[in-house]
Chains A and B, each alone.
Chain A
């Protein structure tokens, strides 16, 4: 499939939004944002900026013709601040000028005065004051209260995990181009073309059919462009429509880091009870989710946290409560894992402490509690084709857990200052949008009279390789060579009402829709072939290798001739198809249902070293047995797993968001917010796909792959804890991520 992006990326020939320039009269936008985290706008004067060199227009909330509202799930987020500001970095005004530099220079001439109000930054503090995004939700199974008395061991504690900047290398960007008859074309770096379309139409007060949103590719997203690409596209659209000129808005890195949401920080309280043999009898957990200043996707993310409260484990009595807390930070948003990593981290922390108390190896405790076939999850779904134990046991055997343990013991005995530790991390991750209605996708396939094929879907390519999978599905289903296919940009005029490319479902949903569309065309073509070959029935016919086969024998009827014959016979060579995942449902009144089409399983073994003198850490290796079903594209799936793993390690050990007391982000550059580089990423990462593991619930027996591997990285935290334990056997361990160099040395040196 040499038309895939991966052949053009190394030549620098793929175009991102900022590379597009074929827009005569193009103007550039820059955004004035709130300097304070909470306050009342007492003055907003733009006149002086309006006369600055090159300035073509300035837009505030007053200039919005439609609704000043970009909220998705909850309508609580204005596009431009109106009266109040709720986080530092909140857009207040948009300046449009001839060059990006002029636009940014003119921002300084806008007079914005904000009367500062005290900000709330901590989710527990917000909850105490009743500042919630939505009412708390609780998932429960069994009866925890009844279970506590029968537990041999009961532990409780607090666990914290930090936020995480996506650091997609391409910053947020959009171009809006006005067309005739009051229409707009918006090219946006978004995971959610229809989301952008909906909000642009809402903000401008025009019907959605006058707004076309198109996406070519994203330079990384990871969830950060699911909802958060929208405001920038809407601002460009607002200006473009008013000025009747194309407007481009590309955030600079620091603007992007200050203004956009990140992974949610969580602070959680847990109580866990086990029997004498180490079986979990009861688990109670409360998650305080720091949602930031607006809902964004927080409620959906918290819901996935609740779905994954039990992680890979069978827990007969569980009660999990999620509280989405409104604070004065930029609205936190989707990031690979979507709330599940935070849940799994808490339970692993609980198990680690329980193992210490019981004098057991944490891996032994993990193994004793793994999910098994037909176990009921706290929300009523029973696990089917459960591979939790299979992955765990294969990881233990394949990667030599016993030998690794001995290696660690020997190293630790020989080294007084440096210590190693290891940890296992099992993952069980549910696939499907938990909002059931999003589990649908459309596709449009055209076959042209020369035999070339155009494929459109609602999926957005962002490096995850969805396009390569879709092309593979189309080629296989039609029976033609990949070179005949072209995957089009994602455009709301070709495929409407798209769900965001998210929740690891891009290939599952859109691939199925493409399969259906291609099957329809294939059926029609086989009818044409039957006539052309005077065959008795189509049952004996097949299209493979660009040729019609009859009873397994190659015929003279080639693909191009077949297509021409179909056209001459006035047969429809286009097909639109729609796919909706069957069998899934969820009732939010009872918090019970079957929200997931299936689960992805896996287990990682992580080894780490701490330099106890300098307080520095290294993750030496991460090896995982991963359930990819029958992988559609092993190179792509391996890449997804490896990339997710390193992001997970970064979240747990390195990446740290620091805010001032006033709520201003301090780590707003690449020199202060560090993501893994090639020396931080483990030199040894090994991903073994579970063999003979077909998944009838998805496309060609494959499994979704985007998010689950991220959570292997959680094992890095516990491998480091094991090393810390070897350095100071008695001291209570820190259960707060990220476990940075600073935290390690501080723990080692503090009394």
Chain B
């Protein structure tokens, strides 16, 4: 018998005795008969199943959009889950529309309607959380929502109208929620949710997440649900998100430590990381889309060992180390030595990835990331690459270069990195560097591209690193 998971669904407290691995969307649709949340793909690639997840934390209750098809029921414990039905204003008259919904109606942004609730939820999450409320950030908030009917043009118009009508919102979370309730963006019952969450029976909520040793270890679940699908439904889980401190980001001994359960969104919001690596958050926008970034974790991305993992490639170029924990003992390995073969890592049975750490360089490093996929956003790279350069005046003191999609593992380009050390940046250096990198890569042909394409693309992305980092030192004509 599964333990009970207790949370608030819309305005009702629910106690659920379904297995921990049940996908949240199945509970919402099949058990609760809330059918406004739609299933479009079951791999987090369409956004039709987007729900709001309100998580209590140090900064109060925070709401984020998540893909409910990739979300384990057990991880809702103690949280506020909001479906489209939970956003609808009271009453069933068509005038009962929130400003987000009304903007869709006014601009004709809904055609077949299948994607619409997900879009409304994503934009509501944006209004709840985003500081600046500019158009580009609003578009980023809905990058993970696929619409096949409108061509997004009317959706853009609806977003513009919405931003215009909502105007400015208070930055302070304590003031913003009342403002959004007053504006009708979320119903009044939201006001009492923080208190109600605190009053949930904590013991029951907590019990649901610690499971015996044969439970599936799950971080964000964004890969596990795609790989194992409904097979997870009957499973009990060991949720990384419920382990104390696993999602933290902290400085220690000239390094920054990133807990394995920190999400991509956590990384993007980290002031510590932003200070050390200013361009990082911008690069992370190229990782998946908002709903998945809100769940996908650093540890999951690394342990999944996808040869094309964006985070793995980025962390390799930051010269990261990984902490592997068994019981109380933690051993450390260079990330560049962690990947052993296709989907094979140095993670031993019984071990968990606990953290990764990246060294801080006194003068900072030059860091750059490149990714080319079929699409610019919400897509898996054909080839990606990152570079971290420690400079000594004009000279490269140390270099760490990585690439994905060109080997069975996220590849640390050892020879190419070594080649750069001690050299000055010139067209000649870059050409030779690309040749060295080419000698240590061996892409295969698959749906992400033919091997010959990937090899050519790698060369172009390596060139792009230098073009972006050293504008003026390279010309287009220097391309090998």
Interface residues of A (CB under 8 A from B): 2-3, 5-16, 18-19, 21, 101, 104, 166-170, 217-222, 252-253, 416-417, 462-465, 612-616, 635-636, 638-639, 642-647, 654, 656, 658, 666-667, 669-672, 674-681, 683, 685, 740-742, 745-746, 749
Contacts and interface: CB of A to CB of B under 8 A. Distances in A.
B206 interface: no
B176 interface: no
Contact of A169 (B85, B148, B375): B148
A680 B376 contact: yes
B452 interface: yes
Interface stretch (B150-158, B167-175, B264-272, B417-425): B150-158
A532 B102 CA distance: 44
A484 B89 CA distance: 25
Contact of B101 (A11, A222, A252, A417): A11
Contact of B457 (A5, A614, A658): A614
Contacts of B110: 5-6, 9-10
Contact of B467 (A21, A613, A636, A644): A613
A11 B375 contact: no
Given A638-B154, A671-B226, 4 more contacts: A3-B94, A417-B476, A613-B463, A643-B150
B464 interface: yes
A401 B257 CA distance: 55
Contacts of B456: 745-746, 749
Nearest to B97: A10
Interface stretch (B114-122, B396-404, B427-435): B114-122
Interface string B131-161: 0000000010011011111111111100000
B45 interface: yes
B117 A18 contact: no
Contacts of B452: 746
Given A7-B97, A638-B154, A667 B113 contact: no
Contacts of B153: 639, 642, 646, 681, 685
Contacts of A675: 146, 148
B33 interface: yes
A614 B112 contact: no
B473 interface: no
B103 to A, nearest CB: 9
Which 7 A-B residue pairs are closest in the complex by CB-CB distance? A12-B36, A463-B112, A9-B113, A646-B151, A463-B111, A219-B114, A12-B84
B378 interface: yes
Describe B's contact surface by its main secondary structure: loop
A642 B151 CA distance: 6
Given A9-B113, A12-B37, A252-B42, A613 B449 contact: no
B43 A671 contact: yes
Given A9-B113, A219-B38, A463-B113, A643 B374 contact: no
7 contacts: A169-B147, A615-B457, A643-B150, A643-B151, A677-B378, A683-B156, A741-B374
B189 to A, nearest CB: 17
Contacts of B45: 669-671
Contact of B375 (A7, A647, A679): A679
B480 to A, nearest CB: 10
How many chain B residues sit at the interface, stated as a range, is 35 or more
Contact of B42 (A3, A253, A643): A253
A678 B152 contact: yes
Contacts of B38: 16, 169-170, 219
A299 B274 CA distance: 60
Contact of B149 (A2, A21, A639, A745): A639
Given A465-B111, A670-B41, A678-B155, A12 B143 contact: no
Given A639-B108, A677-B377, A746-B452, A15 B35 contact: yes
Interface in B433-458: 447, 449-450, 452-453, 456-457
B32 to A, nearest CB: 12
Nearest to A2: B94
A221 B149 CA distance: 9
Contact of B43 (A166, A222, A669, A678): A669
Contacts of A104: 230
Given A671-B45, A676-B151, A638 B84 contact: no
B449 A742 contact: yes
Given A616-B372, A635-B108, A642 B148 contact: no
Nearest to B142: A678
A18 B39 contact: yes
Nearest to B42: A253
Contacts of A166: 148
A615 B370 CA distance: 13
Most buried by A among B38, B148, B370, B464: B148
B233 interface: yes
Contacts of B449: 742
Contacts of B155: 678
Contact of A741 (B83, B114, B152, B382): B382
B213 interface: no
A88 to B, nearest CB: 16
Given A670-B46, A685-B153, A222 B375 contact: no
Contacts of A674: 373-375, 379
B372 A741 contact: yes
Interface string B72-107: 000000000001110010001010110011101101
Contacts of B116: 9-10, 12
A636 B150 CA distance: 10
Interface in B340-395: 370, 372-380, 382
A671 B88 CA distance: 31
B41 A669 contact: yes
A11 B96 contact: yes
A13 B117 CA distance: 9
B111 A643 contact: yes
B377 A679 contact: yes
Nearest to B377: A679
Contacts of B447: 658, 666-667, 672
A398 B173 CA distance: 47
B112 A168 contact: yes
Contacts of A670: 40-41, 43, 45-46, 146
A647 B114 CA distance: 17
Nearest to A166: B148
B156 A219 contact: no
B59 interface: no
A724 to B, nearest CB: 16
A92 to B, nearest CB: 22
B461 interface: yes
A162 to B, nearest CB: 13
Contacts of B148: 166-169, 220, 222, 643, 647, 675
B334 interface: no
B331 interface: no
A654 B374 contact: yes
